[in-house]
Amino acid sequence: MKHLFSNRSFVLLMLSDLLQNVGIWIRNMALLFFIMEKSGGDPVAVSLITVIEYAPIFLFSIVGGVLADRWRPKRTMLWGDILSFLSVLLIFFVVAAGYWQAVFVVTLVSAIVSQFSQPSSMKIIKRCLPDEHVPAATALSQTMMSLFVIAGPIAGTAIFQSFGLEASLLSLLAVFGGSALLVACIPSSIDSSVDGSAEEKSSFVKELREGMSYVGASRMLKFMLIIYVILALGSGLIQPLDIFVVTNRLHLDMTGVQWFTALEGFGMLVGGVTAAVIAGRLKGSVLLFSGLAFLGVSTFVEVLSVWPLLTGTLRFLTGFLLALAQTALTAVMIRQVDEKFVGRLNGLMTPAFTAMLLIGSGSTGVFMASTSIFAVYFTAGILFLMASLISLRLPFSAEPASTASPAVREI
């Protein structure tokens, strides 16, 4: 881990991501509670938040991916933070004037900006770290994400309940402002071309087609896309049914959902730390297969379980192994994908994953009503096992999925 913390670009990027995670949870919890209060618990107003969060993924992820490949990654992330800061500042004054509906704009702008910033962050990691350090870097990133799955809702709720929306918005201003300062401190050399030469820019449509062709020509990326789609469909099927497992199978109050979610988040945290420690010692194929296979088996057992202790243990172990699997999958994508296609790959995979997640979530109610909760969970478990078997066909080679391996700068 010492080599990561001695890399200035990576440390600044991780600190920026840390602030971004803080901001996401402050925003999510503040908007949820504020809109519940102002709308009188109107389900249409509440559901609109989810629509605003997911719609930009379909509308801007592909566009953002292509443009992220064309633009300089540091400059793209910096402008993203600046735009987020200005949008929150504008909303602060608009809400103070009594137009509370304007809070939806915060979510929309933030969701749009993330479609440009996320692939740019991946490009910076690829540029500033050698391939052998990428697994540890992705493990550290996974650890931070898991930490905020546990602590984020608590922090966001505490700020809103103690100080109100105004304080939450001021916190967001501090978060985006601080993130912008951190990104600005990343060495400017990270924005130069990997080979130091000026790259000729083709048309947007041509670059989009090149990205699709790149995915289609790579056996690894095709299998990875299939795994993502299957995982999303299975996750979508069972995600809305957690509360029924808690109430119908475990006979607990519905508020017990939060504790099982926290257990899974804690498992992800421990898994992320473990992945950082053992990075490079275990094969990515082993981590990925183990995580997905256990997810399939635990899905079967979870719906059959009537013991909270067993269900909680499964949630923890699932989070732990999924953190290892996610680290392996992300490391493979960063290490083996040609840098100039990172943005477009992200722009193609993200909407595919989101679409299947929403299809699964949208159909699970009808599926369960016409069959049973056992049928839904067993279907999801079979999908996860299928994904684990497909993962065995992923070519976990050390070489990038391109004809030329880009050089890496130690910054």
pLDDT in tens, 214-229: 777 777 788 888 888 8
Residue 71 has a pLDDT of 77
Please state, in angstroms and rounded to a whole number, the distance separating the CA atoms of residues 285 and 411: 30
Q: Each residue of 135-190: pLDDT tens digit?
A: 677 667 766 766 666 667 677 777 887 888 888 888 888 988 998 999 899 888 77
Residue 334 has a pLDDT of 66
Residue 401 has a pLDDT of 47
Please state, in angstroms and rounded to a whole number, the distance separating the CA atoms of residues 288 and 231: 12
Residue 101 has a pLDDT of 73
Please state, in angstroms and rounded to a whole number, the distance separating the CA atoms of residues 150 and 265: 6
Query: DSSP assignment, residue 194?
Result: T
Please state, in angstroms and rounded to a whole number, the distance separating the CA atoms of residues 80 and 57: 16
The arithmetic mean of pLDDT across residues 120-134, rounded, is: 73
Read off the tokens for 161: 């309940």
Angstrom distances, CA of residue 187 to CA of 128, 184, 219: 10, 8, 35
Q: Does residue 285 contact residue 234 with C-beta atoms inside 8 Å? A: no
Q: Would you say residue 347 has pLDDT above 50?
A: yes
Q: Would you say residue 309 has pLDDT above 90?
A: yes
Q: Would you say residue 308 has pLDDT above 70?
A: yes
Please state, in angstroms and rounded to a whole number, the distance separating the CA atoms of residues 11 and 25: 22
Residue 54 has a pLDDT of 65
Query: DSSP assignment, residue 407?
Result: P
Query: Across all residues in the chain, what is the average pLDDT?
Result: 76
pTM (predicted TM-score): 0.64
Name the H helices within 239-341.
Answer: 242-244, 257-278, 284-304, 308-336
Greater confidence (376 vs 214) lies with 376
